[in-house]
C-alpha cells in the first residue's frame, strides 16, 4: 500500500484507512463494485456541496488490468514469424524502389511501428464480405501501405513483379504509393493519405451503416468500421471534428486505433507534453470509450510491484520528448535516465540486465495487449471506442531510424542495419543475400502458410478488397418527369424548386425511391425541402423523444428511426462525408444508394474540395447540388456566399461531371441521364449541378434538345432567318442565359442585328470532349480529323461568339480554342457583394446591356458595323466608360 504522505494531508492515518477500505472492496467484490461505490460517494459529495476534484485523464497505465484481459487465442510464435516476414517485405519494397536513387520515395518507419496493430486485426478481427456478413470496413493509415502490400504478397494476392514496381504505375503493373481505389479498384477501399479525412469519413461510414440497417436496406448489425491513424494526424481539425457526433449517435460499430509513436513527420508530436493523455481527454470528454495500450506484458510485474506509485509517478512526469529519446538509445541509457531518477526505482530493476530493460516493450508492440484492447473495443455497446496504442516509430530499424526524428524520411538502410534487423526478427536470409534485399515468402504448405490461410478463411477471405460493381438499378425514363419538360405557363419558379420537385418524384418511385438519400447541412428550408421532414422523416437512431414545436403544422419537423433525410447540421465536411458514405455504398455494402447532397454552392468545392477529390478517388456515384449558385443570384448574402468559381474547381476532378442548367427541363434531362450512367450502367462518375433561387418562367424543352443538353450545348433559339445584315452567336449558362436571351431581343429590336442564342449547360463537358478529340487527331495523323462538338455546332453559324456566365471569365474561356472566329467572354471576376440582382449584373458587366455591347464591339472590330454604333450604344445603355473594374474592386 502506498504509504507516502501527500502534501496538505491533515490526517494520513484516516487517508490510509480509506485506501485500505477501497482495496478490500476491489479484492473481495471486484472493480465494478468499487466503481459503483465511488460514483455514489462523488454524487453524495456534490449534493452536500463539497468540491469534487475532476480529471479527464486516467493514470498513465494500460486501461485494461492484466487480470481483465481477454487472452490471445492464436499461436503467438507462428504469428510472430509471419509478422516478421511481413515487416521485412515492407521495408524491402521501399528499399528496392529507392536502391539507385530516392526519386520514388516511400515510407518504412510508420508500418514498422504499427505492424502488430495491423497483424492482430488481420489475424483475428477483420471480416471480409461474405454470405451472412457484409464485411468490416478498415481505413488503413496511408503511410503504412507498404506493410499492407507485404501481407498481400505473402498471401499470394500480389506478385513479386508488382512489389518491384511500387510507385511505378504508368505501365499498369505497379502499386500505388498510398491507398487509392481509383488506381487499384479491386484492392483499396478508402483513400486516407490526405490526413484527417480518414477519421472523418470513418465516422460517417459507421453512421451510414446504422442508416442502412434501420431502414431495412442491409443487415449491418455485425459490421465494424476500424480506422487507423497516427497521433500526429490528430492535429488535423477533421480528425477530431466529428468525434462528438460519433458519441451522440452511439456508434458502437466504430473503432479508432491511433498509433501513438510520439512522432510527426519532422519530430515529436508533443515533445513537451503527452499526446496520449491529451487525446484521452478529447475522446473521453466527447463520450468515447477510451482504451490505452501503453505498456507491454514485460512491464506487468514491475507495475504490480509499484506499491508506492513511484513508477507511475515517473511514467506520468516523463514527457513524450523523453520517451522518444529513450527508444533512440539503449537499455543502459534507459536504466540511467528513466529508472535512475529515483534510487528506489533503480533498485526495482537492479535484477534486470540492460538487454532486459531494453526489452520492456510498448503496448502497441505486444500482441496480447493489442488483442485484449481489440476484443474489449469489439464488445463496446452504445459507445464508439478509441484505442491509444503507444509504439516506437521505426521499430526494429535500429541506427537507421528507430525513435529518431529523421525516421519518417528514411528510404535507405545500410548492411549493418539490415543485418541487425534480420537478426532481431530471426529472418531466414544468408549474409551473401542480405544486400539483395530479397522478398520472403512462406513455404507453401508449411505451418505459417497454413495458419495464415486458415485465419483469413475463418474471417471470410482476404482484405483489403473492394467490390467494383453492384446490382444495376431500374431508372425511370425521362417521361416520368414530364411536368418539368413542359412550359411553366406563366408560373415563375427557380431551378432549385424544379430540382426539389424532381427529387420528390424520385423519392416516390417504386423502383428506386427507397435508395434515394437527400442530404442537407441545416439548409432544408432555404432550399424548399422542409416538406420532406414530415413525408420522409429525418434519420435518427433514437427516433423523436420530444414533441416538435411545429407539430400542429402541415410540414412539421419529424425525426424517425427509419427517416430517409440526413440533416447534418451546420457542417459541410460532415455532410460531404455522409454523401461519400452513401455514394460508395454500392461498393462497401453491395447496396447502391442515390445520394443528393444539397448545399450553398460557395460552401461546396471551395470548402470541401479535398473531400470531393477523395470522392473521385473512391469512385463515388451520386449528385452534388450547388444551391443558390452564381455570383449575382444569391444577391443579398454578400461576398462569402456568392459563387463565381465552383465550376472551375469541380472541373479539376476528372470523374466529376459538371452542369450549370438554366431551365427545369435541363435539370430533368441532366439528372435522368446521370441516373442512367451511374446506377444503371454503373459508371464511376459523380455529378455536380448548380441551381439558383431566382424565380422566372420556364419554357418547354425545344424539340431535339435532349442530346445537346447532355453534351453541354444546344441551339435554344435562332435569330430571324430572313434578316439581312450582321449576325452574332450568343452563348450563356445558368441564370445569365436569361440575360443573353434578353440581349438577343435588344440587339434585334434596337440595332437590327440577328442573334442566335445557345444554351451551354456544361462548358466543362464541352472542353473535355474537345480535348479528347484533339488528342485522337494527334495520335491518328493519317485519319480524317474529327471535329469537336462545340466547334461543329458553331462553325457553320455566322458571326462572332459572345459568351456570358455568372462565373469568372475562366469558366467560359475553357472553349476558346474551339470557338470559330472571334470569341469574347463576359464573367463575374472579383469578390461578390450584396445588392439587387439587376445592379449586381451591371456591376459585374454581365447583364443584357453588357452582352449587347460586347456583341456590337466585336462586330465593329470585324468591320460589320461602324465603331460609332458602339459609342451610341454605350450612351443609350448608360454605361460609364470610366466605371471601376469589378475584378479589381
DSSP state of 293: E
> What residues have CB less than 8 Å from 671, skipping those under 6 apart?
499, 502, 623, 687, 689
Q: Residue 356's CB: how many other CB atoms inside 10 A? A: 12
pLDDT exceeds 90 at position 10: no
User: What span, in angstroms and rounded, lies between the C-alpha atoms of 448 and 76?
Assistant: 11
In this structure, how many other beta carbons lie within 10 angstroms of the beta carbon of residue 719? Answer: 21
In the predicted structure, residue 377 carries a pLDDT above the cut 60: yes
> Using CA atoms, how far apart are residues 126 and 462, in angstroms rounded to an integer?
9
| Residue 175 C-beta-side C-alpha neighbours within 13 Å | 29
What does DSSP assign to residue 237?
A: H
Residue 26 C-alpha cell reads as 476491489
Do residues 647 and 582 make contact, with C-beta atoms less than 8 angstroms apart?
no
| pLDDT value, residue 1 | 42
Ranking 21-35, 154-168, 206-220, 466-480 by mean pLDDT, the lowest is 21-35
Q: What one-character DSSP code corresponds to residue 299?
A: G
What are the tens digits of pLDDT across the range 151-210? 999 999 999 999 999 999 998 889 999 999 999 999 999 999 999 999 999 999 999 999
CB 392 within 8 A of CB 362: yes
Residues 6+ apart with CB under 8 A from 231: 258, 259, 260, 261, 262, 269, 275, 276, 279
Please report, for residues 36, 43, 826, 856, 871, the alpha-carbon distance to residue 860 in angstroms, rounded to integers and kept in the order given.
89, 86, 17, 6, 11
Residue 3 confidence class, pLDDT cut points 50, 70, 90: low
For residue range 779-819, what is the model confidence (pLDDT) as tens digits? 999 999 999 999 999 999 999 999 999 999 999 999 999 99
Task: Read off the pLDDT of residues 520-546 as tens digits, 9 standing for 90 and up.
Answer: 998 888 888 988 999 999 999 999 999
Q: How many other C-beta atoms are found inside a 10 Å radius of the C-beta of residue 614?
A: 27
Whether the Cβ atoms of residue 98 and residue 106 lie closer than 8 Å to each other: yes
All three cell numbers of 260? 501513438
Angle at 594 between CA 591 and CA 597, to 5 degrees: 135
d(CA 755, CA 741): 9
Average pLDDT value for residue range 284-296 = 97
Q: Is 676 left (phi over 0), alpha (psi -120 to 50) or beta?
A: alpha
Query: What are the distances in angstroms from CA 664 to CA 484, 499, 696, 734?
Result: 5, 7, 11, 11
Residue 398 scores a pLDDT above 90: no
Ramachandran area for residue 392 (φ above 0: left; ψ -120 to 50: alpha; else beta): beta
What average pLDDT does range 865-879 have in this prediction? 96
Over the chain, what is the mean pLDDT? 95
**Whole-number Å distance between alpha carbons of 524 and 530:** 6
Comparing C-alpha atoms, which of 502, 413, 757, 812 is closest to residue 647?
812
Between the two ends of the chain, the Cα-to-Cα distance in Å is 74
With cut-offs at 50, 70 and 90, classify the pLDDT of residue 4: low
864-889: average pLDDT: 95
- pLDDT tens, 358-368? 999 999 999 99
Q: Which residue has the higher pLDDT, 554 or 519?
A: 519
- 612-640 pLDDT tens trace: 999 999 999 999 999 989 999 988 888 88
How large a percentage of the chain has pLDDT more than 70?
99
Stronger pLDDT, 633 or 855, i.e. the higher one: 855
Q: How wide is the angle at C-alpha 69 spanned by C-alphas 63 and 70, nearest 5°?
A: 135
Mean of the pLDDT values across residues 376-389? 98
Amino acid at each position: 500500500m502506498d504509504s507516502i504522505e501527500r502534501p496538505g494531508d491533515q490526517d494520513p492515518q484516516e487517508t490510509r484507512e480509506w485506501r485500505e477500505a477501497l482495496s478490500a472492496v476491489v479484492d473481495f467484490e471486484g472493480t465494478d463494485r468499487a466503481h459503483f461505490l465511488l460514483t455514489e460517494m462523488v454524487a453524495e459529495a456534490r449534493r452536500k456541496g463539497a468540491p469534487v476534484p475532476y480529471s479527464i485523464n486516467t493514470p498513465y497505465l494500460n486501461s485494461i488490468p492484466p487480470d481483465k484481459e481477454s487472452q490471445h487465442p492464436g499461436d503467438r510464435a507462428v504469428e510472430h514469424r509471419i509478422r516478421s516476414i511481413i515487416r521485412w517485405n515492407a521495408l524491402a519494397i521501399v528499399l528496392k524502389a529507392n536502391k539507385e536513387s530516392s526519386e520514388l520515395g516511400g515510407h518504412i518507419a510508420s508500418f514498422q511501428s504499427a505492424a502488430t496493430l495491423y497483424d492482430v486485426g488481420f489475424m483475428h478481427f477483420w471480416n471480409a464480405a461474405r454470405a451472412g456478413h457484409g464485411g468490416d470496413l478498415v481505413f488503413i493509415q496511408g503511410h503504412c501501405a507498404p506493410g499492407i502490400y507485404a501481407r498481400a504478397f505473402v498471401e499470394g494476392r500480389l506478385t513479386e513483379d508488382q512489389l518491384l514496381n511500387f510507385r511505378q504505375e504508368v505501365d499498369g503493373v505497379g502499386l500505388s504509393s498510398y491507398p487509392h481505389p481509383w488506381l487499384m479498384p479491386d484492392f483499396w477501399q478508402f483513400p486516407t493519405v490526405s490526413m484527417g479525412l480518414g477519421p472523418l469519413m470513418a465516422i460517417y461510414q459507421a453512421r451510414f451503416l446504422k442508416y442502412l440497417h434501420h431502414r431495412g436496406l442491409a443487415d449491418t448489425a455485425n459490421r465494424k468500421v476500424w480506422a487507423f491513424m497516427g497521433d500526429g494526424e490528430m492535429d488535423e481539425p477533421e480528425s477530431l471534428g466529428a468525434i462528438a457526433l460519433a458519441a451522440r449517435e452511439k456508434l458502437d460499430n466504430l473503432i479508432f486505433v491511433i498509433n501513438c509513436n510520439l512522432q510527426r513527420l519532422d519530430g515529436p508530436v508533443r515533445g513537451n507534453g503527452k499526446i496520449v493523455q491529451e487525446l484521452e481527454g478529447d475522446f473521453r470528454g466527447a463520450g468515447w470509450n477510451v482504451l490505452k495500450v501503453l505498456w507491454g506484458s514485460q512491464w506487468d510485474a514491475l507495475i504490480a510491484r509499484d506499491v508506492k506509485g513511484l513508477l507511475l509517478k515517473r511514467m506520468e512526469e516523463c514527457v513524450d520528448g523523453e520517451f522518444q529519446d529513450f527508444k533512440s538509445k539503449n537499455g543502459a541509457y534507459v536504466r540511467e535516465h528513466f529508472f535512475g531518477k529515483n534510487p528506489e526505482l533503480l533498485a526495482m530493476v537492479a535484477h534486470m540486465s540492460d538487454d532486459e530493460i531494453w526489452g520492456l516493450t510498448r503496448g502497441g508492440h505486444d500482441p496480447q495487449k493489442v488483442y485484449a484492447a481489440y476484443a474489449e473495443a469489439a464488445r463496446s455497446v452504445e459507445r464508439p471506442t478509441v484505442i491509444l496504442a503507444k509504439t516506437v516509430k521505426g521499430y526494429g530499424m535500429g541506427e537507421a531510424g528507430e525513435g529518431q526524428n529523421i525516421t519518417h524520411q528514411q528510404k535507405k538502410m545500410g548492411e549493418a542495419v539490415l543485418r541487425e534487423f534480420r537478426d532481431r526478427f530471426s529472418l531466414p536470409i544468408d549474409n551473401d543475400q542480405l544486400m539483395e534485399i530479397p522478398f520472403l515468402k512462406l513455404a507453401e504448405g508449411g505451418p505459417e502458410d497454413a495458419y495464415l490461410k486458415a485465419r483469413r478463411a475463418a474471417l471470410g477471405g482476404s482484405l483489403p478488397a473492394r467490390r467494383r460493381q453492384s446490382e444495376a438499378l431500374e431508372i425511370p425514363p425521362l417521361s416520368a418527369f414530364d411536368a418539368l419538360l413542359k412550359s411553366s405557363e406563366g408560373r415563375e419558379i427557380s431551378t432549385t424548386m424544379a430540382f426539389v420537385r424532381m427529387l420528390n418524384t424520385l423519392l416516390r418511385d417504386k423502383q428506386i425511391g427507397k435508395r434515394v438519400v437527400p442530404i442537407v447541412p441545416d439548409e432544408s428550408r432555404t432550399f424548399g425541402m422542409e416538406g420532406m421532414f414530415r413525408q420522409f422523416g429525418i434519420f435518427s437512431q433514437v427516433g423523436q423523444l420530444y414533441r416538435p414545436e411545429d407539430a400542429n403544422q402541415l410540414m412539421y419537423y419529424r425525426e424517425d428511426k427509419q427517416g430517409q433525410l440526413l440533416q447534418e447540421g451546420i457542417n459541410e465536411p460532415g455532410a460531404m462525408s455522409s454523401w461519400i458514405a452513401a455514394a460508395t455504398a454500392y461498393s462497401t455494402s453491395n447496396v447502391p444508394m442515390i445520394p443528393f447532397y444539397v448545399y450553398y454552392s460557395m460552401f461546396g468545392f471551395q470548402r470541401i474540395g479535398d473531400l470531393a477529390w477523395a470522392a473521385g478517388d473512391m469512385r463515388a456515384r451520386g449528385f452534388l447540388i450547388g444551391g443558390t449558385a452564381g455570383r449575382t443570384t444569391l444577391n443579398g448574402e454578400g461576398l462569402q456566399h456568392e459563387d463565381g468559381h465552383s465550376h472551375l474547381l469541380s472541373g479539376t476532378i476528372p470523374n466529376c461531371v459538371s452542369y450549370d442548367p438554366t431551365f427545369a427541363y435541363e435539370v430533368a434531362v441532366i439528372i435522368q441521364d446521370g441516373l442512367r450512367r451511374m446506377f444503371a450502367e454503373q459508371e464511376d462518375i459523380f455529378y455536380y449541378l448548380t441551381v439558383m433561387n431566382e424565380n422566372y418562367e420556364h419554357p418547354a424543352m425545344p424539340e431535339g434538345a435532349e442530346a445537346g443538353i447532355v453534351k453541354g450545348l444546344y441551339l435554344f433559339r435562332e435569330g430571324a432567318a430572313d434578316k439581312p445584315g450582321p449576325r452574332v452567336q450568343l452563348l450563356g449558362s445558368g441564370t445569365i442565359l436569361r440575360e443573353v436571351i434578353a440581349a438577343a431581343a435588344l440587339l434585334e429590336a434596337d440595332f437590327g442585328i440577328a442573334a442566335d442564342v445557345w444554351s451551354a449547360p456544361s462548358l466543362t463537358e464541352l472542353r473535355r470532349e474537345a480535348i479528347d478529340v484533339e488528342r485522337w487527331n494527334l495520335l491518328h495523323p493519317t485519319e480524317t480529323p474529327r471535329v469537336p462538338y462545340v466547334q461543329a455546332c458553331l462553325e457553320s453559324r455566322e458571326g462572332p461568339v459572345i459568351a456570358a456566365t455568372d462565373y469568372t471569365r475562366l469558366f467560359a474561356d475553357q472553349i476558346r480554342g474551339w470557338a470559330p472566329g472571334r470569341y469574347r467572354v463576359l464573367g463575374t471576376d472579383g469578390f461578390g457583394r450584396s445588392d439587387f440582382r439587376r445592379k449586381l449584373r451591371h456591376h459585374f458587366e454581365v447583364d443584357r446591356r453588357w452582352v449587347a455591347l460586347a456583341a456590337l464591339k466585336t462586330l465593329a472590330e470585324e468591320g460589320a458595323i461602324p465603331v460609332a454604333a458602339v459609342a451610341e450604344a454605350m450612351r443609350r445603355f448608360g454605361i460609364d466608360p470610366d466605371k471601376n473594374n469589378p475584378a479589381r474592386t
